[in-house]
C-alpha cells in the first residue's frame, strides 16, 4: 500500500455504506488536512463542506490526502473510534438551522447573499446534501427528498423575508434627514444664445412686413461676393489682407450681400427677402471685432420702390427693435452696390453715460449696374433698370445684441461662458 493511501474497510470499525461519518485526525477536522485528491469527488465535496465522509462501497475504498506539511496515514484505531453520524434527516435539520442562523445574523445585502450561496447555492450545504440522494437506500429516497425540499423552502423564504427587511432598513436610512416637505430644487434649464434671440426677433419684425427668408453659401466666389455687386477688382475689400481666400480662388463671404445676387439670379420681382448668416473678415480680434460675425441682409425689388420706402422700413425696424423713442439717423455713405447709400446710426442711451450714436447698418437704393450684371447672367431682362428699383440693407446682428443688452465686449458672444449666457436663459 502506498504511504498516503489508506484502505478503509467496513471491518475496520463502525463505518457503514451510505452513512456519512465524521473523520477527524489529531483532534482537528479532517478537512483541515487540506485533502487534495480523492478518488471519489463526492467524498471530496462532502468532506470539504460537511467534514463528513461517506463510505460508498461495501468493498474497499481508497482515500488519498495530503497535508501541506506532511503526508500521513489516517491511523486505523482513530478511524475505529469514529462515532456514528446522526441520521440524514437530522443532518438536513442542522444544515437548515445553520443556514437560518446565518440568514438571521446577516446585516446587509452582501452577507445575506453569502448565506444564500453557502446553503442553497450550487455548492452550498443543502445542495451538496441533496447530491447524496443517489447513495441513499431506495425506500428512504422519498422521505429524504421531502426533507430536502422542506429545508430549501424554509431557507428560501427566510432569505426573502430578510431581503425585504434589509431593504426597508436601507430605504429608511436613505430617507433619514431628508425633509420631504421642502420644495423641490429647480433644475437648471438651457436657454437661447443672445445672438439667436436677436436674430429671431429681427426675423419676426421683418417677416411681419412681408420679407421671406433666403440663404446662400458661406464659401463664395468672387463674382457673387464682389463683381456682381459692382465692386471693382481694386476695391480694398477684395484685398488678401482683408478677405479669407482659398487656393481655389473661392473665399469666405465678407458680407451677406452675396445672397442678394443669388436670389435675383433665380427670382423675378417683386422680391422681398432677408438673409441672416455669418460673414468673415481678416480683422484683428478685439472688443468690437471678430473674424466671424453675423449679418442680416435685406432686399426689396419691385416696380416702384423708393428711398422713403427704405427709410420707413428701417426706421420702423429699429423702433420695433429698440423702442419707439429710439432715435435713428441715416448718414450718407458709399457702397459700390447702392446709390445713394447710407449708414444707419442708432442713438444709444445707457444710464449714467452720455448718449452716443452707434452704427448698426448700411443701406441704399440698388445700383442699376447690379441689375444689369444679373440680367447678363440670366440672359433676360427680368430686372430691367428702366422699370424696376429696389433697396437693400445689411445690419450687424452682433452689434444689435450688444446695443440691446449693453454688452461691452463682442468676444463674450463667442466665449460660451455660462456666467454670461445664463443671464439670457
- What is the binding site for ligand DAH (CB under 6 A)? 255, 257, 297, 335, 338, 341, 362-364, 392-394
Q: Which residue number, 64 or 309, has a Cβ lying nearer to ligand DAH?
A: 309
Q: Which helix (H) or strand (E) holds 391?
A: strand 389-396
Neighbours of 219 (CB within 10 A): 12
Cell output for 90 = 437530522
Of 216 and 364, CB closest to ligand DAH: 364
| DSSP tag of 121 | S
Task: Name which of 47, 58, 62 is nearest 17 in CA terms.
Answer: 58
Measured from the CB atom, the residue of 72 and 282 that comes closer to ligand DAH is 282
CA 163/CA 5 separation, integer angstroms: 47
Residue 101 vs 242, nearer CB to ligand DAH = 242
Cβ nearer to ligand DAH, comparing 91 with 231: 231
Kind and range of the H or E run holding 357: strand 356-366
Rounded Cα distance, 61 and 343, in Å = 111
Q: Among residues 335, 333, 137, 305, which one has the least CA distance to residue 211?
A: 305
Shortest distance, CB of residue 322 to ligand DAH, whole angstroms? 19
- Nearest residue to 258 (alpha-carbon basis) of 100, 392, 123: 392
Nearest distance, CB of residue 340 and ligand DAH, angstroms = 10
Q: Which of residues 30 and 391 has its CB atom nearest to ligand DAH in the complex?
A: 391
| Min CB(260)–ligand DAH separation in Å | 6
Nearer to ligand DAH, 13 or 340 (CB): 340
| Residue 387 beta carbon to ligand DAH: minimum distance, rounded to whole angstroms | 20
**What's the min distance (Å) between Cβ of 287 and ligand DAH?**
19
CB of residue 213 to ligand DAH, shortest distance in Å: 16
CB of residue 257 vs ligand DAH: minimum separation in angstroms?
A: 4
In the bound complex, what is the minimum distance in angstroms from residue 364's beta carbon to ligand DAH?
4
Beta strands in 219-355 (DSSP E): 219-220, 251-252, 271-280, 292-302, 328-335, 338-348
- Cβ distance to ligand DAH smaller for residue 35 or 364: 364
With H, G, I as helix, E, B as strand and everything else as coil, classify residue 85: coil
Q: What angle do CA 184, 185, 190 make, to 5 degrees?
A: 125
Please state, in angstroms and rounded to a whole number, the distance separating the CA atoms of residues 274 and 41: 87
Amino acid at each position: 500500500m502506498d504511504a498516503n493511501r489508506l484502505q478503509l474497510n467496513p471491518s475496520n470499525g463502525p463505518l457503514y455504506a451510505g452513512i456519512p461519518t465524521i473523520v477527524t485526525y489529531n483532534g482537528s477536522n479532517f478537512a483541515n488536512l487540506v485533502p487534495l485528491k480523492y478518488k471519489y469527488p463526492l467524498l471530496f465535496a462532502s468532506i470539504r463542506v460537511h467534514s463528513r465522509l461517506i463510505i460508498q462501497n461495501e468493498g474497499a475504498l481508497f482515500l488519498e490526502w495530503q497535508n501541506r506539511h506532511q503526508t500521513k496515514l489516517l491511523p486505523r484505531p482513530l478511524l475505529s473510534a469514529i462515532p456514528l453520524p446522526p441520521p440524514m434527516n437530522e443532518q438536513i435539520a442542522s444544515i437548515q438551522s445553520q443556514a437560518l442562523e446565518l440568514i438571521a445574523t446577516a446585516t446587509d445585502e452582501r452577507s445575506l447573499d453569502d448565506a444564500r450561496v453557502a446553503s442553497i447555492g450550487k455548492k452550498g450545504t443543502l445542495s451538496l446534501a441533496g447530491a447524496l440522494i443517489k447513495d441513499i437506500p431506495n425506500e428512504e429516497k422519498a422521505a429524504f427528498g421531502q426533507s430536502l425540499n422542506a429545508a430549501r423552502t424554509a431557507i428560501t423564504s427566510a432569505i426573502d423575508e430578510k431581503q425585504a427587511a434589509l431593504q426597508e432598513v436601507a430605504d429608511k436610512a436613505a430617507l433619514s434627514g431628508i425633509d420631504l416637505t421642502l420644495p423641490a430644487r429647480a433644475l437648471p434649464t438651457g436657454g437661447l444664445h443672445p445672438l439667436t434671440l436677436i436674430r429671431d426677433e429681427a426675423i419676426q419684425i421683418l417677416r411681419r412686413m412681408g420679407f421671406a427668408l433666403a440663404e446662400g453659401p458661406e464659401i463664395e466666389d468672387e463674382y457673387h461676393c464682389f463683381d456682381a455687386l459692382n465692386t471693382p477688382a481694386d476695391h480694398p475689400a477684395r484685398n488678401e489682407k482683408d478677405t479669407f481666400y482659398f487656393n481655389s480662388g473661392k473665399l469666405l463671404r465678407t458680407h451677406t450681400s452675396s445672397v442678394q445676387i443669388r436670389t435675383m439670379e433665380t427670382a423675378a420681382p417683386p422680391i422681398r427677402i432677408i438673409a441672416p448668416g455669418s460673414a468673415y473678415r481678416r480683422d484683428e480680434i478685439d472688443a468690437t471685432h471678430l473674424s466671424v460675425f453675423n449679418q442680416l441682409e435685406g432686399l426689396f425689388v419691385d416696380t416702384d420702390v423708393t428711398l422713403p420706402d427704405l427709410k420707413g422700413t428701417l426706421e420702423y425696424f429699429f423702433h420695433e427693435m429698440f423702442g419707439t423713442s429710439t432715435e435713428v439717423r441715416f448718414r450718407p455713405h458709399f457702397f459700390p452696390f447702392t446709390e445713394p447709400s447710407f449708414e444707419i446710426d442708432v442713438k444709444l442711451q445707457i444710464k449714467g453715460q452720455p448718449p452716443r450714436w452707434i452704427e448698426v447698418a448700411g443701406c441704399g437704393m440698388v445700383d442699376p449696374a447690379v441689375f444689369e450684371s444679373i440680367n447678363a447672367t440670366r440672359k433676360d431682362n427680368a430686372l430691367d433698370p428702366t422699370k424696376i428699383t429696389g433697396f437693400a440693407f445689411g445690419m450687424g446682428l452682433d452689434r444689435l445684441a450688444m446695443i440691446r443688452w449693453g454688452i461691452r465686449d463682442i468676444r463674450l458672444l463667442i466665449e460660451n461662458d455660462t456666467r454670461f449666457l445664463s443671464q439670457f436663459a
